[in-house]
Amino acid sequence: MSALKISQREARRLRKRVQQLEREQVERTRRWSKEYPGGVHIKTWTPSEVDVEACRVASALGHALVLRYDNGKLYLYAVEAK
């Protein structure tokens, strides 16, 4: 399969679009990592090293972290940010 040639104008347009999408992703990740949209901060605690690493990896992969309480336990979910 041969490469499809595009004009310099099209290449610049696509480069700008990629940069825009990357900025949006950074902003989305920043917003999700600081607070849940529409949510309110209610508590801060120091989790174990294993918990911290799980959260760090999920955040690095661009996931939002959601905490849910059920039957006396806290469940932490990594949700794909859209």
pLDDT digits 0-9 by tens, 11-45: 999 999 999 999 888 777 666 555 556 666 677 78
Task: List the chain domain ranges.
Answer: 8-80
At residue 45, the pLDDT reads: 81
At residue 79, the pLDDT reads: 85
Q: 65: which residues sit within 8 A by CB, 6+ positions away?
A: 32, 55, 58, 59, 76, 77, 78, 79
At residue 40, the pLDDT reads: 65
Which helix (H) or strand (E) element contains residue 4? none
At residue 69, the pLDDT reads: 84
